[in-house]
Structure 1
């Protein structure tokens, strides 16, 4: 049986919980104090109109008293803010005084007042907030330039705030810390970027970035596994316009080579380039070593050396010569 009943009166129709008032004959609900059947709702409370006994409280009105028929009306009438996000220094909860488009709708006097309020709101922010804003702005640029997913940007932003709280940014600088966090989070979420690619975007030297990411991982207690060559395959295969069959074959080559310990001490990008070259030959999609090397970011000599070593370790030299 339902736990609620609707009380009809000449003025009100209020849902009342049966557990909070006494039931009378049939479906009639009466006040437990005076027996009245007339109730009123006000301020989130339902009370008896005769004696004032509160029979229900903390009621939440989930209905909307407004309707929107286009995006402009929805924007004007909404009363909730954006979700909490670490990509903003105030997590999206700070006060924002007017939008530029809205400023044109008010009088000149009000517009001057709003601009003055925005100026002082900005001046009153502390150095920590300004430093975090600068770091997040740089993080957004680097993530966009490296074509990283939103999840990497969000997680790196969260760790940027944590790094600032623990004094890592002050010790290493914004560029080094942002580059280190982008590199670490991208690897952790299986969309890795090479140190060279991140170093070009920050920009700092590769050696300095390597020190920064190791220091940052140690300070934030981040357990990062060694990079796997197969994690790079979808990205480079897509850039080269290779088919899914070639990608699957390249993954199989890397896995077989790992079982023979042929990957020990080799650069992941060099292994990826060599495995893609072998896979294209076996699948009949002809690409030169130079084309693959230029896309992956290694030299033709590296591709040739890794290609020969992989072919020898897997015993497929004859098959490749006949391909």
Structure 2
């Protein structure tokens, strides 16, 4: 039985012996490579230094200084504040009860000093609403960042005065989608925002007027795939509805007409031509419009068809 203590000889995984070379070029001694440099054990000659760090830490900037996470417009402080954990330390070890109480007191004081003014508090609340609405509507992170930047611009231009923060947050999400060509029905935004449609419409009009948004008018064909998918209509009806929307966009869409309502009318008319059972009520409910809107747009479409 061995008399020496177990684990008396350790092994450092970060240290590697260079056995593939002839050793140190000065004295011929053994060369070791760690996470920082390559050095001779005998004479101390440094052969290489500044090794590449593969630990996944923050990147280096142009001045060779360590940087943190990238700045983000989704937080009122752009992500520069410190987050205090709850039950475990950085190594995953469980904290003692005394340490948890201490961190609880620190966390409470941090929350009290987190906002320097009421304006920052409102900004934090608004950005949180933008993130929540974007998550409900399954908006990707890029559009959420743009929506947060729009909300920041609205606050800096004093557009929040006399308006609901929730409505302005919903309008920012809707505006970001409109500027990037994503079809997002206003009814879905209103439902996710839990505010009145008039408030969201007025907030969007304010953003569009004061910030000069590059939003393009939405066309009926952009809403057609979602309507067809929700109603589960066959492919032949979808193809005919697509042809009708393209014809309507070139010929007969009246000024100010609802693109969603016109797409619903084209889909309903295509279903009637194919003798597929689809009622105006079903189409109107999915499109978020009334049956009267569907009926009127269909009559306009029939006047222009050969």
Q: TM-score range by the shorter chain?
A: 0.7 to 0.9
Higher helix share: 1
Correspondence 1:56 to 2:43? no
Of 23, 39, 44 in structure 2, the residue corresponding to residue 47 of structure 1 is 39
Gaps in structure 1 of 5+ consecutive residues? 1-10, 17-26, 65-80, 316-323
Q: CA 1:15–1:163 in 2, change beyond 3 Å: closer, same or farther?
A: farther
Matches within 5 A, 1:1-323: 13-14=17-18, 28=22, 31=25, 34=26, 36=28, 38-41=30-33, 44-62=36-54, 86-90=73-77, 94-99=81-86, 105-126=94-115, 127=117, 128-145=119-136, 147-151=137-141, 152-169=143-160, 172-199=163-190, 201-315=192-306
* Deviation at residue 119 of structure 1 after TM alignment: 0.3
* Deviation at residue 273 of structure 1 after TM alignment: 1.6
Contact conserved, 2:84 with 2:107, CA < 8 A, in 1? yes
Higher alpha-carbon deviation: 193-202 or 275-284:
193-202
What is the aligned residue count? 276
TM-score normalised by L of structure 1: 0.70
Aligned-CA RMSD value: 3.6
Q: Report the counterpart of residue 5 of structure 1 in structure 2.
A: none
Structure 2 SS opposite 1:55: strand
Contact conserved, 1:262 with 1:313, CA < 8 A, in 2? no
